[in-house]
Amino acid sequence: MERPLTQHIRPHAEPLSLAEYEKAGGYRSLRKAFALTPQDIVAMVTASNLRGRGGAGFPTGMKWGLVPAVGSVPQPRYFIVNADEMEPGAFKDRLLLEGDPNQIIEGIIVSAYAVQTEKAFIFLRREYSLAGKRLNKAIAGAYEKNYLGPNILGSGFNLDIRIHSSAGRYICGEETALINALEGKRAVPRAKPPFPLACGLWGRPTIVNNVETVANIHHIVNNGPEWFKALGVGRESGTKIYGVSGRVKSPGAWELPMGTTIGELIEDHGGGMQNGYALRGMVPGGASTDFLLPKHLATPMDFDSVAKAGSRMGTGTVTVLDDRTCPVGFVHNIELFFARESCGWCTPCREGLPWIVKILHAIENGRGEQEDLSILEQQCRFLGPGNTFCAFAPGAVEPLQSVLKYFREDFERHIREKKCPWRTS
């Protein structure tokens, strides 16, 4: 099984040095890319069917193809790597950033050449200090070898990369809030249109891609789109870094063919549930996705299949709910996080999420009323798609609406018994 993204990652050890990375084939894609036109590379990425690995799954080649042509709008244009990984349960980007930073830099260079920009930024989660240290070292090495800077390898192409350490907030993962933060403004989403592809950072065309998405680009250039398509299972292309956390025997992250089933992730790679625990459900793609049940274990972990099952693949990081963990407390913890992380820009999100937290806290502590369940369901509708300024609140209520659907009896038992049945004291 090929694992292009993680093949050089050495757990609990320093990443490959630049010399080691070059010896393993690193930066070979630059020479291949510079022998092609930028349009050729966009066509390759489009043919590969690479979909964004940040959660939305938008086709990467199509996204690049929507950027206005050079000469049609004023320069410069910008390329941004979204490394603000704050989705609860997600740690795939951290693995790549810390484990093989040279790979990320190479992917950025090829991507920047494809979309014809000479300015790139890595928007990095502030807590990822080790990743920042290793990225800075990889960038410095790339400048020394003329993989970055003016006239890269005599190609006539110039590129500078800068790291921006985020001040925090989950909302910075939303591309327009990220752009505002990068400009030094309050991190709140922008109205769309105009879209960043046409009017983004400082009013110029801007492409924002996730870390894992960028890490695939130079492999596609090196090996071709058909190779990439063959790595996946079914209609999906490439590999995916999946993760599993919770009461499993071996929590972790693994690079596997896109389309690997949820059951294989939990049972074969996660080692199954810990002794004495049984699986009740899982959020398949981070905390902002709907719960699925054991009956969904055969579902392939790809964008379309998980959507058909009633959730979203999101980041591809599964968090399991076991039979000895209170689902009310589980979702209360999730909603508390989202209420604290709301940017406060629109009323439904700013006021609705704290109200949800207050109700869940009351139910969990034996003070809930039956009508509270109707209020929670109402809030899920009011904070749903189309009712808020951005997708933050709709994502925040996804786990709540599904836990009310699948585990309603647990809520009613809390209300009926005036306590949390899972508490021993």
Question: Which residues form the domain of 133?
Answer: 18-231
Residue 425's pLDDT is what? 55
Radius of gyration of the chain (CA): 22
Within 10 Å of residue 369's Cβ, how many Cβ atoms?
A: 12
Q: What is the length of the chain?
A: 425
| 12 lies in some domain | no
Residues 245, 376 within the same domain:
no
Q: What spatial distance separates the first Cα and last Cα of the chain, rounded to whole Å?
A: 49
Is the same domain home to 33 and 88? Answer: yes
**Inside any domain, residue 285:** yes
Range 402-409 average pLDDT: 96
Spell 9-45 as b/e; 16+ CB within 10 A means b: beeeeebbebeebbeeebbebbeebbeeebeebbbbb
What is the per-residue pLDDT for 229? 96
More confident residue, 422 or 360: 360
**Alpha-carbon span 406 to 409, nearest angstrom:** 8
State both tokens at 417. 């018994």
**Burial of 156 per CB tally in 10 Å (0-12, 13-18, 19+):** exposed
Q: Answer yes or no: do 140 and 170 share one domain.
A: yes
Same domain (yes/no): 104, 202: yes
- Report if residue 170 sits inside a domain: yes
Q: Are residues 343 and 317 in the same domain?
A: no
Distances (CA, A) of 197 to 62, 97, 123, 146, 411: 11, 25, 17, 28, 45
**Residue that is last in its domain, among 212, 231, 250:** 231
User: Is position 425 within any domain?
Assistant: no
Percent of residues, the chain, with pLDDT higher than 70 = 100
Does residue 2 lie within any of the structural domains? no
Summarised one tens digit per residue, pLDDT across range 208-226 is 999 999 999 999 999 999 9
**DSSP SS3 for 69:** coil
Domain end position, chosen among 322, 352, 381: 322
360 and 285, same domain (yes or no): no
Indicate if 200 and 342 belong to the same structural domain: no
CATH number at residue 221: 3.40.50.11540
d(CA 122, CA 159): 13
| The last residue of a domain, from among 290, 322, 354 | 322
Same domain, 335 and 366: yes
User: Do 157 and 289 belong together in one domain?
Assistant: no
- 140 plus 218 within the same structural domain: yes
Q: Identify the weakest region by mean pLDDT among 33-47, 160-174, 307-321.
A: 160-174
Residue 342 maps to a domain: yes
Examine the domain organization and report whether 209 and 97 are in the same domain.
yes
pLDDT digits (tens, 9 = 90+) for 195-207: 999 999 999 999 9
